[in-house]
Amino acid sequence: MPKTRSAAPPRPSAARSTANATTRISFRSRKIVKTPPTKPLIVTTVPPPAPIAPPLPALTAPGELAAALRHLSSADPLLSAVIASTDAPSFTSSPSLPAFHSLARSILYQQLATSAAAAIYTRFLALLPSASEGSPVSAVSPAAVLALAAADLRAIGISGRKAAYLHDLAARFAAGDLSESSVAAMDEEALLAQLTKVKGIGEWTVHMFMIFSLHRPDVLPSGDLGVRKGVQELYKLKALPKPEEMAALCDRWRPYRSVGAWYMWRLLESKSATTKKAKKGNASS
């Protein structure tokens, strides 16, 4: 029987080369990207908010008006001369009216001569149901005004437009959008924003309310013609100052611009009286 020739085992060198071929791992070259060093984290310290300055006392508070006159006299020599030649103001209302009553009265007096407005205001008080039972001051309430029909108000001389203004004011107080406490607590900016939402109440009315009802010390009615003419006379300006000019000129009066404005009305009255006296003297001579 012929012998079969067995396959020769692979040479060791060949086996190693085959193993190396099967186990070899190829690596792809990678581009090394250099990242910049990270910057150290800078922690900024936020300063705490400045404390809110407490509101200034009302001008009716003891000693407050005297403090205002001292400040204005030292801050503005020209105004100091006016203060020295004019009787001191009195920021009191007798009797003191609640905010709602005062605002309703302001609406009634708008664009009317003082005598005509006073007559309508008296009839308005008499129209309220509880006015005869107690104080007319307490009778002027949001509920009482809302109970009055527009026809009732027109019958005593109040225009239909002003009747709508009164009802809008009363509705906002009745709904709680405005209240005696909130009006007293709001600063000038917030109060101006809230009250001018009421129909018929503009910036001038709010400024007068702040000065003469709330007795706020630092209100500048820069849109009031009398105050503007007074500032023009005080500083001998060629033209009426605009609101932004008023703010700059009267900034030295802070925080008693309400009192400074009061003296501008008096200065204008004094000038008018002097002019009339001079004309009368020339006419008689």
Averaged confidence pLDDT in the chain = 85
What does the alpha-carbon distance between residue 132 and residue 125 come to, in Å, rounded to a whole number? 9
User: How far is CA 152 from its chain centroid?
Assistant: 35
211 DSSP 8-state letter:
H
66 DSSP 8-state letter:
H
- Given pLDDT bands bounded at 50, 70 and 90, which one contains residue 92? confident
* Contact call for residues 227 and 261 (beta carbons, < 8 A): yes
pLDDT at 32: 59
pLDDT at 244: 94
The residue among 26 and 272 whose pLDDT is bigger is 272
What does the alpha-carbon distance between residue 200 and residue 202 come to, in Å, rounded to a whole number? 6
- Given pLDDT bands bounded at 50, 70 and 90, which one contains residue 43? low
- Look at residue 262 and tell me whether its pLDDT is greater than 70: yes
For the chain, the straight-line distance linking the first and the last C-alpha, in angstroms and rounded, comes to 174
Read off the pTM: 0.77
Burial 233-253 (b: 16+ CB within 10 A, else e): bbeeeeeebeeebbeebbeeb
- Look at residue 19 and tell me whether its pLDDT is greater than 50: no
- Look at residue 80 and tell me whether its pLDDT is greater than 80: yes
What does the alpha-carbon distance between residue 242 and residue 251 come to, in Å, rounded to a whole number? 14
- Given pLDDT bands bounded at 50, 70 and 90, which one contains residue 136? low
Specify the range with the lowest mean pLDDT, choosing from 77-81, 90-94, 99-103, 125-129.
Answer: 90-94
The residue among 225 and 19 whose pLDDT is bigger is 225
Read off the pLDDT of each residue in 118-135 and give the average, rounded to a whole number.
82
Measuring CA to CA, which residue among 178, 106, 108 is closest to residue 142? 178
Burial 148-169 (b: 16+ CB within 10 A, else e): beeeebeeebbeeebbebbbbb
- Look at residue 133 and tell me whether its pLDDT is greater than 70: no
Contacts of 246 (CB under 8 A, 6+ apart): 220, 222, 227, 228, 231
* Contact call for residues 171 and 146 (beta carbons, < 8 A): yes
Residue that the structure tokens 């003191």 belong to: 96
The two three-digit tokens of residue 227, written as one number: 């105050």
